Amino acid sequence: MDFKLLIANHPEITIFFAILLGNFIGKIKIGHFSLGAVIGTLIAGLIVGIFVVPDIPEIVRWAFFDLFLFAIGYSVGPQFFSSLRRSALPQIIITVTVNLGGLFAAIACAYFFRFDTGTTAGVLSGALTQSAALGTGINAIHSLPISEDQKAVLTTNVPIADAMTYVFGDLGLILILVVILPALFKIDLKKESAALEESLKKDGIGGASESFFKTANKETVRAYVVTNPKYIGRPISEIEHEFKDNRMFIEKVSRDGKVQEVDTNFVLQKSDLVTVTGWRSGFIHGVEAIGPEVDSHQMLTVETQERKVFITNKEYDGMKMSQLAERGRGLYLRKITRGGVELPIGANLELHRGDVLYLIGAPKDLNVATSKLGFAESDPKKSDLAFIGACICIGIILGMFSLQVHDIPLGLGASGSVLVVGLIAGWAQKRVPYIGSIPESAQQILIDIGLIVFIAVVGLKAGPHAVDAIKEGGYPMVLKILGAGAITTVVGPFLGFFVGRFLLKQNAATTLATIGGAQTAMPSLNAIQDASGSKVLATSFTLPYAIGNILLTLWGPVIVAVSRLWQ
264-287 confidence digits (pLDDT tens): 899 999 999 999 887 776 676 666
Give residue 244's pLDDT.
75
Whole-number Å distance between alpha carbons of 70 and 432: 18
Whether residue 333 contacts residue 307, with contact meaning beta carbons closer than 8 Å, is answered with no
Lowest mean pLDDT among 84-98, 243-257, 514-528: 243-257
How many helices and strands, by DSSP H and E, does the chain display?
21, 14
Exposure on the CB side of residue 63, measured as CA atoms within 13 A: 6
Give residue 68's pLDDT.
93
Whole-number Å distance between alpha carbons of 487 and 485: 5
CB-based burial label for 59 (10 Å; 0-12, 13-18, 19+)? exposed
Residue 56: pLDDT over 80: yes
Run of H or E including 299: helix 297-300
Segment 481-494 mean pLDDT: 96
Residue 450, SS3 per DSSP = helix
Residue 279, SS3 per DSSP = strand
Whether residue 223 contacts residue 299, with contact meaning beta carbons closer than 8 Å, is answered with yes
Run of H or E including 311: strand 305-311
DSSP secondary structure letter of residue 257: T
The greatest distance separating any two alpha carbons of the chain, rounded to the nearest whole angstrom, comes to 94
Give residue 211's pLDDT.
55
List, in order, residues 6 or more apart from 57 with CB less than 8 Å away. none
Segment 467-489 mean pLDDT: 87
Whole-number Å distance between alpha carbons of 377 and 74: 15
Residue 145 neighbours by CB distance under 10 Å: 9
Whole-number Å distance between alpha carbons of 133 and 525: 21
Give residue 108's pLDDT.
96
Residue 387: pLDDT over 80: yes
Q: What is the pLDDT of residues 169-207, one digit of tens each?
A: 988 999 999 999 999 998 888 888 888 877 776 654 444
Whole-number Å distance between alpha carbons of 301 and 174: 51
Question: Mean pLDDT over all residues of the chain?
Answer: 86
Segment 505-509 mean pLDDT: 90
- CA angle 146/152/156 to nearest 5° reads 130
Give residue 484's pLDDT.
96
Handedness of CA 238, 239, 244, 247 (dihedral sign): negative
Whole-number Å distance between alpha carbons of 359 and 45: 43
Residue 531: pLDDT over 90: no
Strands 374-376 and 403-405, how do they pair? Answer: unpaired
Give residue 96's pLDDT.
96
Residue 174, SS3 per DSSP = helix
Residue 457: pLDDT over 80: yes
State the pLDDT confidence band at 408, using cuts at 50, 70 and 90.
low
Partners of 308 in beta bridges = 358
Segment 378-387 mean pLDDT: 83
Q: What is the pLDDT of residues 3-52, one digit of tens each?
A: 667 776 788 899 999 999 999 998 888 776 777 888 899 999 999 888 88
Q: What is the DSSP string of 148-173?
A: HHHHHHHHHHHHHHHHHHHHHHHHHH
Closest listed residue to residue 493, CA positions, set 34, 79, 129, 73 = 129
- φ, ψ for residue 522 (rounded to 5)? -60, -35
State the pLDDT confidence band at 445, using cuts at 50, 70 and 90.
very high
Partners of 374 in beta bridges = 311
| Alpha helices (H) along 305-439 | 321-327, 363-373, 385-398, 413-429
Percent of the chain with pLDDT over 90: 39
Whether residue 417 contacts residue 70, with contact meaning beta carbons closer than 8 Å, is answered with no
Residue 214: pLDDT over 60: no
Whether residue 530 contacts residue 187, with contact meaning beta carbons closer than 8 Å, is answered with no
Give residue 2's pLDDT.
62
Give residue 305's pLDDT.
86
Q: What is the pLDDT of residues 75-112, one digit of tens each?
A: 888 878 877 777 789 999 999 999 999 999 999 999 99
Query: Which residue type occupies 21?
Result: L
Q: Give the E-state strand segments of 384-494 in sequence order.
A: 403-405, 408-410
Give residue 16's pLDDT.
93
Give residue 247's pLDDT.
76
